[in-house]
């Protein structure tokens, strides 16, 4: 008889992360240093607008300075690079983030590379990625960092476990897999990475002690693809139509939550799991940047 599954509550863990930042913020404020985060939003993408507003609200609530530079969707690469250059040289700004995706005429890689790595609070700059890869102190991409916080908070050990990461994007899948193979706490796992070219993915997911799904395909992982007592972290956030709801859609993850629930040891819900962690980790990176740049 299976015990009831542990629901890994991102809201609780995010609150804990933010709480742990308070002492550092107080120390900085006592020295008249206000950790500053500036977001650049290009265009009118509604999901990006929501994210950026939420980042600004949560940063201010914690006592950080936060502002948003809004650019027209038709702005040029040169205009965006000039703003990044200005922010790189502004001592009041400790963290810079460019909300992705950018309109298609921008060269995203060049934009990310233009950010001063010491202010790269999203952890996307090649220097941050490279430092993380070889185990040096760095800004870590916020979503995978949030996944590790959740596992740690709920004392889910990764050492010696077989973790299957589904997805190999630069912002989630790849850094996730890399972090889990690092030596030491929160690492030491044996990691398999699956992606769209993986034939018979269930062959791998059925062997997993921990599954981390970062795919973007609604409810791809079903009960027949997992073994009993697996831990599942569902990074996916997908909108699917639901005529019963006033807004006309609901959010679901990459995992078929209801079907897997009776088999799992622990699972993150969507929404309320990994999604809420990302901003908490961004704020944590901003405080870290302020400390490194100012103290
Ligand atoms: P992405 O860049 O589109 O990458 C998706 C990955 O999934 C790719 O590696 C792709 O393989 C793989 N994939 C696609 N279809 C597959 C299939 N049928 N079977 C196996 N693998 C498949 O997406 P992302 O940015 O990593 O985001 C993934 C999901 O996480 C999305 O739902 C996104 O909304 C969500 N997300 C949430 C947060 C948050 O919680 N704050 C943050 C970021 C992303 P290929 O490489 O072969 O194309």
Nearest residue (by CA) to ligand 1, atom 41, is 275
For the Cβ of 84 lying below 6 angstroms from any atom of ligand 1, the answer is no
Length of the chain: 295
**Residue limits of CATH 3.40.50.10860 in the chain:** 29-117
Q: Would the CB of 172 count as within 6 Å of ligand 1? A: yes
CA nearest to 18, candidates 270, 287, 267: 287
Comparing CA positions, the residue from 260, 262, 180 lying closest to residue 225 is 260
Stated pTM of the model: 0.97
Residue in 215, 221, 249 to alter for ligand 1 test, most ligand atoms within 8 A of Cβ:
215
Residue nearest to atom 6 of ligand 1 (CA): 167
Residue nearest atom 8 of ligand 1, based on CA coordinates: 167
Distance between CA atoms of 291 and 18, rounded to whole angstroms?
A: 16
Q: Catalytic residue, from 55, 119, 174, 288: name it.
A: 55
Question: What are the residue ranges of CATH 3.40.50.720 in the chain?
Answer: 141-275
**Span 29-117 CATH architecture:** 3-Layer(aba) Sandwich (3.40)
Where do the H-state alpha helices sit in the chain? 10-30, 46-61, 77-88, 108-114, 126-133, 142-153, 173-181, 202-205, 257-260, 275-294
User: Does the annotation count 86 as an active-site position?
Assistant: no
- CA of 183 from ligand 1 middle (Å) equals 26
151 in Cβ contact with 163 (< 8 Å): no
To the query of whether residue 133 is one of the catalytic residues in this protein, the response is no
Reported as a single tens digit per residue, the pLDDT across 169-203 is 999 999 999 999 999 999 999 999 999 999 999 99
24 tagged catalytic? no
Neighbours of 66 (CB within 10 A): 22
Report the separation in Å between the CA atom of 249 and the middle of ligand 1, taken as the mean of its atom positions.
20
Q: Domain 141-275: give its CATH superfamily.
A: NAD(P)-binding Rossmann-like Domain (3.40.50.720)
Give the pLDDT band (50/70/90) at residue 273. very high
Q: pLDDT by residue (tens digit) across 4-55?
A: 999 999 999 999 999 999 999 999 999 999 999 999 999 998 889 999 999 9
């Amino acid at each position: 008889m299976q015990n009831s599954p542990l629901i890994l509550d991102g809201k609780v863990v995010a609150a804990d992360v933010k709480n742990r930042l308070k002492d550092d913020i107080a120390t900085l404020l006592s020295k008249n240093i206000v950790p500053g985060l500036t977001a650049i939003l290009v265009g009118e993408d509604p999901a990006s607008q929501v994210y950026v507003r939420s980042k600004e609200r949560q940063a201010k609530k914690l006592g950080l300075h936060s502002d948003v530079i809004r650019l027209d969707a038709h702005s040029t690469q040169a205009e965006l690079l000039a703003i990044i250059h200005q922010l790189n040289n502004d001592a009041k700004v400790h963290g810079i983030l460019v909300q992705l995706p950018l309109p298609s005429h921008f060269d995203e890689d060049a934009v990310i590379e233009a950010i001063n790595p010491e202010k790269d609070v999203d952890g996307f700059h090649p220097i941050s990625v490279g430092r993380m890869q070889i185990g040096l102190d760095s800004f870590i991409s916020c979503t995978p960092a949030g996944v590790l916080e959740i596992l740690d908070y709920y004392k889910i050990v990764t050492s010696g476990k077989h973790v299957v990461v589904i997805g190999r994007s630069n912002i989630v899948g790849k850094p996730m897999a890399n972090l889990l193979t690092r030596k030491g706490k929160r690492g030491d796992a044996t990691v398999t990475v699956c992606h769209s070219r993986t034939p018979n993915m269930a062959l791998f997911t059925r062997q997993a002690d921990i599954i981390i799904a970062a795919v973007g395909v609604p409810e791809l992982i079903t009960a027949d693809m997992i073994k009993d007592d697996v831990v599942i972290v569902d990074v996916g956030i997908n909108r699917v139509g639901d005529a019963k709801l006033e807004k006309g859609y609901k959010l679901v993850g990459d995992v078929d939550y209801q079907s897997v629930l009776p088999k799992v040891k622990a699972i993150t819900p969507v929404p309320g799991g990994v999604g809420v962690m990302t901003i908490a980790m961004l704020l944590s990176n901003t405080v870290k940047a302020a400390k490194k740049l100012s103290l």
